[in-house]
Amino acid sequence: MIWVDREVKEIIKRKKKLEWVDDMKTPSGRVHIGSLRGVVVHDMVYKVLIENGVNAKYTYVFDDHDPMDAIPSYLEYKKWEKYAGMQLYKIPSPEKGFKNFARYYADEFIKVFNSIGSYPEIIWASQLYNGGKMNGVIKIILDNAEKIRNIYNKAFDKKKPKDWYPFNVVCEKCKKIGTTYVYKWDGKEVYYRCEQKMVAWAVGCGYEGKTSPYDGNGKLVWRVDWPAKWKVIGITVEGAGKDHMSAGGSYEIAKIICDKVLSYSAPYPIPYEFFNVRGKKMSSSKGLGVSAKEIAELVPPSILRFIIVRTPIHKAIDFDTDLDTINKLFDDYDICLNAYFDKIENKIPEGKKGEVLLDFARIAELSQVNSLPKKRVYLPRFRTVVNILSNNDDVLRFFESHKKSKLTKEEADILNERIRYAKKFIKPMTQKVSKKIKLTKSQIKFLKTIADKLKKSDSNDAIEMQNIIFKSLKENSLSPKEAFSSFYMVLTQKPYGAKAGELIKSIGVSKVIQSFERLK
């Protein structure tokens, strides 16, 4: 049983009439790949709830009412610094054709998660506030500001002053929300100052005034805004990254506010680890890291979803975009798909091995964006596709020869998709071909032995070619590691690669012979 089935099993025990699954994000720049983990995690929970006959809903809140608190590195600072502190939905879009800054980046992210089969209902936080839906909780919070201060003071070392209210007003003069300090609430209006040195990322205008806190004139501060939205929307399930879910983190504070102020049960928590690329932490507002769009363009939708589905939520994903990682990713995906085929063919054995294969099959089911094949199909290995393309050989002919029959339309579609994505890696490979490879005399002799035996053999069978390599190894005083590293370095410019016999077949026997014979 994989993690999502275990979590849903616990959620079902609550027997709620409606399980409302939700996720949230501030669209302060290009949304990085890390945020996609939250989308897929919640999407999986929602779909498995539905699968189990539970009445469920899935929404995604874009916090477009938040202030611009950093200017992304890819935007011109001088052009955008005047908007620092203003609400994202009131800032113009970086490109024409979009409603505002927030919508531009949110729309890009929506396209990515739609492409991998996630279709939550979108909620815009600005509309919650501007439409008056938050008015009731705003009054509750402001009326109970002393309780909120006490909660904060117990949780943090830095104490909140007695005149602090958990609300930021939109300054009536400069229109900034990130620079205002609310110091009084009389039951109808809040009194505030737009301070010049309150935050490092924006400068207030110094205006002082009072205004109604309702209908979009301001917003609750982050750790209060989160539970307030839970209550207003009716959310019952919401996860977040481990930083928010750890002891003393945002979720714990929000839960206390739910219990002591809002009289609302905090949602079922699903903490998950980070999704990093090459070990780096990412930030949308600062423009750090790899965007979800960039990764979505690198691998097919089901593979992108698979990266997240297969990883237990308590484990971090540390992804790399190099070809070796992508090759292994496709191999792992194919293993899970083949387990799914075993499942529908009733070939899953009993015992521990069967449990593992059932988990693999489950991962394949939840990773699939389109409908899964109803019967087993031939899966062309991705790394072989890359190798064949890099040598300008006929991909279709090779795989039909390997399968020993024509590909079905479904199999041809899989192959064509893999060809499309493999082509993204061909250019970097061909650039490395010109590198000089240093081999020992023994390694060169071993490779020339292979060439001689290939010339004498009239077989085009991958197994026979594999046997030729092992015979050549026996005739030469080399360790398997020395022998195979030289074999792959000459043919792929890396010390490893596809199965040797298949690699020769994919490249072409004559080309392999030429490559080995010209070694000096």
Tens digit of pLDDT for each residue in 226-254?
A: 999 999 999 999 999 988 888 778 999 99
Please list the alpha-helical segments (H only) found in 221-322. 222-233, 242-245, 250-257, 292-296, 301-309
Q: Which pLDDT score is estimated for 430?
A: 38
β-pair type (56-62, 121-124): parallel
The SS3 assignment for 86 reads strand
Sheet with 268-272: strands ordered across: 121-124, 56-62, 19-25, 237-241, 268-272
Whether the CB-CB separation of 443 and 486 falls below 8 Å is answered with yes
Is residue 365 packed enough to be buried (19+ CB in 10 Å), middle (13-18) or exposed (0-12)?
A: middle
Query: Does residue 427 register a pLDDT over 70?
Result: no
Start-end ranges of CATH 3.40.50.620 in the chain? 3-133+226-277
Residue from 270, 316, 302, 261 nearest 413 by CA = 302
Distance CA 307, CA 329 (A): 8
Beta-carbon-side half-sphere exposure of residue 235 (alpha carbons within 13 Å) = 28
Distance CA 157, CA 173 (A): 34
Tens digit of pLDDT for each residue in 103-119?
A: 999 999 999 999 999 99
For residues 80, 82, 87 and 93, what is the CA-based torsion angle, rounded to 10 degrees? -30
The SS3 assignment for 270 reads strand
Residue that wins the pLDDT comparison between 435 and 404: 404
Q: Give the residue-averaged pLDDT of 418-440.
A: 69
Contacts of 228 (CB under 8 A, 6+ apart): 134, 137, 138, 141, 220, 262
Start-end ranges of CATH 1.10.10.350 in the chain? 441-517
Distance CA 132, CA 155 (A): 30
Whether the CB-CB separation of 60 and 123 falls below 8 Å is answered with yes
Encode 492-516: b = buried (16+ Cβ within 10 Å), e = exposed.
bbeeebbbbbbbbbbbbbeebbeeb
Q: Which pLDDT score is estimated for 283?
A: 55
Q: Tokens 């939550």 map to which residue?
A: 120
From the options 3.40.50.620, 3.40.50.1580, 3.40.50.980, 3.90.120.10, give the CATH code of 3-133+226-277.
Answer: 3.40.50.620
Q: Which pLDDT score is estimated for 433?
A: 39
Query: Does residue 459 register a pLDDT over 60?
Result: yes
Q: Which pLDDT score is estimated for 287?
A: 47
For residues 205, 209, 215 and 220, what is the CA-based torsion angle, rounded to 10 degrees? 70
Q: Which pLDDT score is estimated for 280?
A: 57
Distance CA 434, CA 296 (A): 30
Residue 203: alpha-carbon gap to chain centroid: 34
Tens digit of pLDDT for each residue in 331-360?
A: 999 999 999 999 999 999 999 999 999 999
Q: Which pLDDT score is estimated for 494?
A: 74
Whether the CB-CB separation of 226 and 254 falls below 8 Å is answered with yes
The CATH fold assigned to 441-517 is Arc Repressor Mutant, subunit A (1.10.10)
Residue that wins the pLDDT comparison between 218 and 288: 218
Q: Residue 315 phi/psi, 5° resolution?
A: -110, 135
For residue 159, the 8-state DSSP code is: P
β-pair type (167-169, 218-220): antiparallel
Whether the CB-CB separation of 378 and 396 falls below 8 Å is answered with no
Query: Does residue 62 register a pLDDT over 60?
Result: yes
Tens digit of pLDDT for each residue in 181-204?
A: 999 999 999 999 999 999 999 999
Distance CA 212, CA 190 (A): 6
Which of 407-411, 426-430, 456-460 is the most confident on average?
407-411
